[in-house]
């Protein structure tokens, strides 16, 4: 039985979450949605808030998972993070990471966006 895109995405997020937790990050929120877009995982790395985009591709045929994080997607991540940050009286340190899964290879990219 073939997986749906939703199921495949959920499994990729599960794999990314387990990987990041094994490296000491703590889950704050999963699938945060705002009118601007969605953030797959929001995690804490010590005192830093980490906004994580999870991307999965079967292969590198069209540039791979990392190449699929377009400028439009980056802008939506940034805008959604700003919405999430409004709940804090003062902004904590934060960064944007990506977990890219190409086939069976998982790569954790830190600091994919900068202010």
Tens digits of residue pLDDT in 73-108: 999 999 999 999 998 888 889 999 999 999 999 999
Q: What confidence score (pLDDT) does residue 5 get? A: 76
Say if residue 115's pLDDT is above 60.
Answer: no
| Band of pLDDT at residue 27, cut at 50, 70 and 90 | very high
Rounded percentage of the chain residues whose pLDDT exceeds 90: 71
Residue appearing with tokens 């990219």: 109
Q: What confidence score (pLDDT) does residue 92 get? A: 87
More confident residue, 50 or 60: 50
pTM of the model: 0.91
| Band of pLDDT at residue 33, cut at 50, 70 and 90 | very high
Lowest mean pLDDT among 38-47, 63-72, 102-111: 63-72
Q: Which of 83, 84, 82, 88 is nearest to 115 (CA)?
A: 82
Structural domains of the chain, with CATH: 5-109 (3.40.1350.10)
Mean pLDDT of the chain: 91
């Amino acid at each position: 039985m073939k997986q749906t895109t939703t199921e495949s995405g959920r499994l990729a997020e599960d794999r990314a979450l387990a990987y990041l937790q094994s490296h000491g990050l703590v889950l704050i929120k999963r699938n945060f949605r705002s009118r601007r877009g969605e953030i797959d995982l929001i995690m804490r790395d010590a005192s830093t808030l980490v906004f994580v985009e999870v991307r999965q591709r079967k292969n590198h045929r069209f540039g791979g998972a990392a190449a699929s994080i377009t400028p439009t997607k980056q802008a939506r991540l940034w805008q959604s993070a700003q919405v999430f940050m409004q709940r804090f009286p003062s902004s904590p340190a934060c960064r944007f990471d990506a977990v890219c899964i190409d086939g069976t290879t998982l790569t954790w990219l830190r600091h994919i966006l900068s202010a």
